[in-house]
């Protein structure tokens, strides 16, 4: 089975200096650089993101939207692009992320709610007002 993980599995600087973690866990335990702090985190896979609350590298956010808006550093351009979208498109991005779930064995529907019950997915109308 092929699953799009939506990650590059690389370390990226994703925070401002104020959000820096106090320890850089990417350094050896007795290293002088351990206590310099850290803003570099492994890109989290988005596949399964809807199942993995709380969000972000430190788990301090309760919504996907908060996690998106917290990105800085190398990810700031992605946050700015998200913020520039019309409200309906920002909502659509968040709703898409909610579909990236790891489903229990035997689940027959691909789009489910938090109780794994089938959930309808209304397609957005195209420029002519048609849904596909």
44 near 4, Cβ under 8 Å? no
Q: Which residue has the higher pLDDT, 125 or 109?
A: 109
> Is it the case that residue 71 has pLDDT exceeding 80?
yes
Q: Which residue has the higher pLDDT, 3 or 120?
A: 120
pLDDT value, residue 90: 95
Confidence of residue 132 (pLDDT cuts 50, 70, 90): very low
pLDDT 10s digits, 11-69? 777 777 666 676 766 777 888 776 777 777 777 778 888 888 888 777 778 899 998 99
Confidence of residue 129 (pLDDT cuts 50, 70, 90): low
Q: Where do the domains of the chain lie?
A: 11-27+35-96
Closest CA to 96 of 68, 129, 56, 57: 68
**Interatomic CA distance for residues 118 and 99, integer angstroms:** 12
> Is it the case that residue 93 has pLDDT exceeding 90?
yes
pTM greater than 0.85 (yes/no): no
Closest CA to 97 of 40, 129, 53: 53
pLDDT value, residue 2: 67
């Amino acid at each position: 089975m092929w699953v799009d993980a939506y990650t590059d599995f690389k370390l990226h600087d994703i925070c401002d200096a104020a959000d820096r973690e106090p320890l850089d866990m990417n350094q050896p335990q007795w290293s002088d650089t351990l206590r310099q702090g850290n803003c570099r985190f492994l890109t989290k896979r988005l596949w399964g993101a809807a199942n993995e609350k709380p969000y972000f590298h430190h788990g301090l956010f309760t919504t996907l939207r908060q996690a998106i808006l917290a990105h800085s550093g190398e990810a700031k351009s992605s946050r700015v692009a998200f913020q520039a979208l019309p409200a309906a498109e920002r909502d659509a991005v968040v709703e898409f992320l909610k579909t990236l779930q790891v489903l229990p064995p035997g689940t027959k529907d691909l789009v489910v709610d938090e109780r794994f019950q089938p959930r309808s997915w209304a397609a957005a109308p195209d420029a002519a007002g048609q849904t596909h």
